[in-house]
Chains A and B, each alone.
Chain A
Amino acid sequence: MTRRIVITQNITVDGVVEALDWFTPEGDGDVSDLMPLLAEAMEREVGFLVGRRTFEDMRGYWPHQTDDTTGVTAHLDAVEKFVVSSTLTDPAWANSTVLRGGEHLADEIAGLLKEGPDGDVGVTGSIELCHALLAADLVDELRLYTYPVVLGRGRRLFPDGVELRPTLVDARAFRSGVSLQTYRLH
């Protein structure tokens, strides 16, 4: 496989990924030691796969950041974007393709992994889509940025009833108390 599906999530110590009120796109505290990793991840990322709500959230935020120094806006504009939605017809963002998901998801993923330049196809946010991808064994890597927060409520990354045996391939801690664990599933 020359392309891989890589889920990257911000997650709490108690496993919540729903972005309620504990996370901001700019990050909290000293994130200077985190930025090089994000830049590195962006460099490897040739595609972006998200659910409709995450897609619309991102479309409503990043293209409007005129003085973005993180490079995220330019990256997202340029990269191939796949949005999974059964209702969306016009994605209204350059380089975007609508996937139908559901029973077609596995075939659609196989299709997007086969074509285009080598690299990572990143998934973030998109909790329902992550559940579907994990349940269908379509994820190659998980990158979990664990925030030093316990939330006590909110949706979780892992779907009910799906047992997994990933392999830890990298772990590091940052000044802000955030730590990164990288797991391979294949």
Chain B
Amino acid sequence: MTRRLVLTAHTSLDGVVDPVEDLLALDDHDGDELQDVLLEARATEVGLLIGRRTFTTLHADWASLPADPTGTARHLAAIDRYVVSTTLDDPPWATAVLRGGDGLADDVAEVLKEGPDGDVGVVGSVGLGHALIAADLLDELRLVVHPRVLARGRRLFPAGHSARGLLLARSRVLHSGIAVQEYRWR
């Protein structure tokens, strides 16, 4: 495999990933540190695989190439943008629309075969994340664990799916008390 599927999620200590605003809006984390984690991931990112809602948000925020010092707009413009949706029909800014559902595994196999080598990232997209985890399609999971217990909201892992013997590839801590854990499926 020359491309890998890498899901990155901001999560609370109790596994809640949505609403992510409850984690990211907190004023006690250091934005620069999180930016560094993002920039590092970008160096190997050749595509994004995202759900409709995340796609729509990113499209609205970045497709017009607003001036931004972080280089997000240029990065997103340069990589493949795959959106998984049963309703969108040839939307602007998308490299391709995948239908997902029963065909998700085949869709992902196609995405991983085409284009330049590197990581295809999954961000936001909680529903898509559940489907990818349940179908065992992820190569890597990057958990950005915020030191908070939110006690409500949607979780990263779908109920009823188990995975054994993950490899802890990397573990580090940011000054603000965020732990970044990278797991790989063997």
Contacts and interface: CB of A to CB of B under 8 A. Distances in A.
B149 A179 contact: no
A14 B157 contact: yes
A153 B160 contact: yes
Given A14-B157, A15-B15, A150-B161, A162 B168 contact: no
Contact of B150 (A163, A173, A183): A163
Contact of A162 (B143, B145, B151, B165): B151
Contacts of B152: 160-161
B168 A14 contact: no
A15 B16 CA distance: 10
B155 interface: yes
A78 interface: no
Interface residues of A, number: 32
Nearest to B160: A152
Given A158-B13, A164-B148, A14 B155 contact: yes
Interface in B50-90: none
Nearest to B159: A152
Interface residues of B, number: 35
Contacts of B161: 150, 152
Task: Give the interface centre of A161, A166, A178 by most chain B CB atoms within 10 Å.
Answer: A166
A149 B163 contact: yes
Given A14-B15, A162-B149, A150 B181 contact: no
Interface of B: 13-15, 133, 141, 143, 145, 147-152, 155-168, 171-173, 177-179, 181, 183
Interface of A: 13-15, 22, 146, 148-153, 156-168, 171-173, 177-179, 181, 183
22 contacts: A14-B15, A14-B157, A15-B14, A148-B167, A149-B164, A149-B166, A150-B133, A150-B163, A151-B162, A153-B162, A156-B15, A158-B14, A159-B151, A161-B151, A162-B149, A163-B148, A164-B13, A172-B171, A177-B165, A177-B167, A177-B168, A179-B181
